Amino acid sequence: MADHTSNQRVRNLKTLRPRKHELEFFIADEVELSSFRDEMASMEHPFFALKGGDTKVRKYRNNNIIVTVNPNAYGLATIFDKDVWIYTISKLQEAKNNNEEISRTVCFTLYDFFITTNRDKGGRSYGEIEKSLSRLKGTTIKTNIVYSDEKQEIIEFGLIDSWRIVEDKKGNLDIGMIEVTLPDWLYQALHKKKMLKISPDYFRIRKAIDRRLYEIARKH
């Protein structure tokens, strides 16, 4: 039964492959990870909240670096929501290292996401993912951290550009898929090699403050 369900997930993803002249996207499930990556600026600066429901605007300055984090009605994206970032950029980096084509629009099954990030596969986890995606979409970052060698600028972007959840006809998300479009800012960070390897044990850290301390220590 497990094999049938797993095969169904793969078939569902493969039917999503773009036709010619249509927007390309990247299927994350097909990539086996040898390591995990995190984006450097978000490791050093407080892009993500430590607790859910935080609706306070955060303004941060460190020397010449300016970061403003704006929430929406769902609250700021949390450090646990950041798992979506880490999962997608790790898969993209792995594929890039293998000279495979990538896209900032990433498709994946929740099954692969939960297994990869050491999450429980129970019903509550499936219900929480939509809230995480809404917080990521609604949280914006305004900063002068840009990955350009030619100019200085200030940019504002959402932690993800867009998302959608596709279920099967019976509403079964387990064999459906998630599609996430990452912000161009994060995609440029990937191409500019602004990533650091992190331990797989990161996903075993259950306290938000301990995750944050790990990020800061790893960055420095």
Question: 196-220: per-residue pLDDT in tens?
Answer: 999 999 999 999 999 999 999 999 8
Identify the pLDDT of residue 9: 58
Identify the pLDDT of residue 11: 56
Query: Smallest Cα–Cα separation from 109: which of 25, 190, 29?
Result: 29
Residue 127 scores a pLDDT above 90: no
Residue 141 belongs to domain spanning:
2-219
Tally the domains of the chain.
1
> CB of 91 within 8 A of CB of 105?
no
Residue 21 scores a pLDDT above 70: no
> CB of 96 within 8 A of CB of 102?
yes
Residue 216 and residue 79: Cα distance in Å, rounded? 13
> CB of 147 within 8 A of CB of 185?
yes
pLDDT range class, residue 4, cuts 50, 70, 90: low
pLDDT range class, residue 28, cuts 50, 70, 90: very high
Question: 34-44: per-residue pLDDT in tens?
Answer: 999 999 999 99
Residue 20 scores a pLDDT above 60: no
- Specify the range with the lowest mean pLDDT, choosing from 2-11, 46-55, 106-115: 2-11
Look up the pTM and report it. Answer: 0.85
Mean pLDDT, residues 137-149:
89
Identify the pLDDT of residue 147: 77
Q: 46 burial class (0-12, 13-18, 19+ CB within 10 angstroms)? A: middle
Residue 180 and residue 136: Cα distance in Å, rounded? 10
Mean pLDDT, residues 97-112:
93
Q: 78 in helix, strand or coil?
A: strand
Identify the pLDDT of residue 136: 98
Residue 22 and residue 25: Cα distance in Å, rounded? 9
